[in-house]
Structure 1
Amino acid sequence: MDSLSQVLSLLKLRSYVSGGFDAAGDWAVQFGAHEGIKFHAVLRGACWVSVEGAPAAVKVSEGECFLLAGGKPFRLASDMRAAPVDVSTLLPQVDDERIVTYNGGGEFLSIGGYFTLADGQADLLLSMLPPLVHVRAEADRATLRWCVERMRQELSDAQPGEFIVAQQLATLVLVQTLRLHLSNEPREKTGWLFALSDRRMRAAIDAMHASPGRRWTLQTLAEQAAMSRTTFALRFKETVGLTPMAYLTRWRMMLAADRLTHSRDSVSEIGLALGYESEKSFSTAFKRAMNCSPRRYGRQKKAGIGGAQQGVEKPGEQV
């Protein structure tokens, strides 16, 4: 499994396709703060997107989509001068109403949804993304447009298995959007996500992710990237923002936190699997990184999971 897939799996990514918005005339809709990542795709017409704190609104046209990763309130509008209505006033009155119509509809159509991420580790991805990721329409983006169109069909014509189909399509939209975002970002961007666009850095990161328990050294990681040790160390720090060994430790702690939360493995078993010679050495590294002992972390997280109720998303709860 490649590094991006592993990170998304670690984040326990869940996607929800909430519904569509069909509008006409002048309109503006205000959305509140949110968790995770919201996404919208424009299938007809165009709209302006304004994120709280951003210097200017961005126009999104037919065939384009955007992600909102900062959690800040935002506004969608045909005209930024139009008086906004709160999204809560537009919510469907019945659960099976998937596409909300405003002012008669027919001029603008979008579908939207959101992705939830595992508590405590969401920053692993969110910190790499700007508040607004705009994916513009180009000829080579047929895959993204196909996914969005299929989601529209699932919303318009309910069939058995529709929820899981829409969820998988939404995940494809996120991955494809991240790929396009990486391909368009300047090379000087720093972070593990942007390092994946560098073939040699990706080889080293993929190797660490594939075998986190191996006794990696700077030399063996440099060999994965087909570079000298000195050049690799400098390049890795420039692109990722961490030294290779610091990144390896961070990844190991993320995996450890996940296993402490979602498995019955003992602390010693987890430490050994992640390359630590003893439970003591693993516990010391974990406490240094997470400000908490492994046992305490596991107890707290499992207690939180046991006490939480898993909600079921209704299709009409968000536009």
Structure 2
Amino acid sequence: MDPLEDVLALLDTCGHVSAGLVAGGDWAVDFPPPPGVKFNAVRRGRCLLEVDGVPESIALSEGDCFLLTRRRGFTLRSGPQVPAVAAGPLFARADAGVARAGDGDDVHLLGGRFSFGARAQELLLDGLPPVIHLSAGTGRAQAVRWVLDAIDEELRHRQMGATLVAEHLAIVMLVHVLRSHLASGAGTGPGWLAGLADPAVTAALACVHRDPAHPWTVAELARAGSVSRTVLATRFKKAVGQAPHEYLTAWRIELAAKRLRKGEDTIASIAHAVGYGSDSALSTAFKRVMGTSPRDYREQTESAEKVQMH
């Protein structure tokens, strides 16, 4: 697995496709802050996107899509100064998977969201801007358009397993949008995601993710990226915000934490799987990174899950 695949898998990333929106004339719809990451794609027409806390509105045209990576309210509208209606009642009246606003069908939007398990904010979302806008004119737009066409096809014909197929296709769209964002050089906060924009750092990250239990040295990671130890250490720290050995420790702890949340393995077996010789060695590193012992972390997770069930 590469780092992007690894992190999305670690976070139990799931796609959810919601009712579409068809609108025309003068219209505006207010959406509450969404759970997870919201996406919309303009399949026909054009509209404006306004996001709470983002000073400028974003013009969306046919073929454009956006990701909203923060829990912020947003409005989609035909133009400025149009009074908005609440999305909840509008989508509650959706017919055949389509909600309607305004008068006509000049605009068609396909929407949904991505949900994640624990640690998504720190591992993925904090490194992204509040809104990622992928314009139809960008290089990867064609791949995203293909995915959206396929989702549309599934939702229109509703063959067996259509929802499952559409939600897996949504994950494909997410990967393409993230790739496009990285390739654009747009703002990405320090972290593994920013490291993917640097070939030498990407090679080092790939080594760590391919075999996290290996006792990687800076020299080995530098050889993988065809640079010197000094160059890798400097570029890795600048992009990721951590030294290579710190990132290796942090990733091992993330893997251990997921196994602890699942509750299936002993702490000793988890320690061995992620590169520690004993449960005490894992416990020391885990407490340094997470602020609690593996045993207490597992108990806290189990307690939280029981509360959610009730």
Counterparts of residues 266-281 of structure 1 (less than 5 Å): 266-281=266-281
Q: How far did residue 303 of structure 1 move? A: 3.5
Aligned to 1:229: 229
Distance (Å, rounded) in 1 between the aligned partners of 2:247 and 2:127:
15
| Match in the other structure for 2:62 | 62
The 3-state SS of whatever aligns with 1:91 is helix
Query: Would the alpha carbon gap of residues 10 and 61 (structure 1) be closer, same or farther in structure 2, given more than 3 Å must change?
Result: same
Structure in which a larger fraction of residues adopt helix: 2
1:246 aligns with 2:261: no
CA offset at residue 221 of structure 1? 1.7
Conserved 8 A contact 2:155-2:163:
no
Q: How does 1:183-262 map to 2 (within 5 A)?
A: 183-186=183-186, 190-262=190-262
**What CA distance in whole angstroms lies between the structure 1 residues aligned with 2:174 and 2:238?**
26
CA contact (8 A) 1:188 1:239 kept: no
Aligned-pair CA distance for 1:169: 1.1
Residue 120 of structure 1: how far off its partner (Å): 3.2
Number of corresponding residues: 309
Shift of 1:249: 1.1
Shift of 1:122: 3.5
Who is 1:293 aligned against?
293
Gaps of 5+ in 2: none
Question: Once the 2 structures are TM-superposed, how far is the Cα of residue 118 of structure 1 from its aligned partner?
Answer: 0.5
Over the aligned positions, Cα root-mean-square deviation in angstroms equals 1.8
* Distance apart, 1:35 and its partner CA: 2.4
Contact 2:128 2:189 in 1 (8 A): no
The aligned counterpart of 2:73 is: 73
Rounded Cα–Cα distance in structure 2 between residues aligned with 1:15 and 1:188: 23
1:92 has 2:103 as partner: no
Does the CA-based 8 Å contact 1:12-1:118 persist in structure 2? yes
CA distance in 2, matches of 1:219, 1:187: 29
Q: Distance in 1 between matches of 2:119 and 2:175?
A: 21
TM-score normalised to the size of structure 1? 0.92
**Structure 1 counterpart of 2:302:** 302
Distance 1:166 1:309 in 2: 28
Q: Quick one: structure 1 residues 170 and 232, their matched pair in 2 at CA, closer, same or farther if it must change by over 3 Å? A: same
Matched, 1:134 2:133: yes
2:108 is matched by which residue type in structure 1?
Answer: L
SS state of the match for residue 49, structure 1?
A: strand
User: Alpha-carbon deviations, 1:195-239, whole Å to 9, x = none?
Assistant: 112221111001001111111122222222222111111111111
How far, CA to CA, are the matches of 1:49 and 1:304 in structure 2? 36
In structure 1, the gaps of 5 or more residues are: 311-319
- Contact preservation (8 Å) 1:36, 1:122: no
Alignment match, 1:175: 175
Q: Which residue of 2 aligns with 1:111?
A: 110
> Counterpart in 1 of 2:145?
145
Distance 1:195 1:281 in 2: 28
TM-score (norm 2): 0.94
What SS does the corresponding residue of 2:19 show, helix, strand or coil?
strand
Counterpart secondary structure, 2:129: coil
Indicate the percent of aligned positions where both proteins have the same amino acid. 39
User: Deviation at 1:160?
Assistant: 0.9
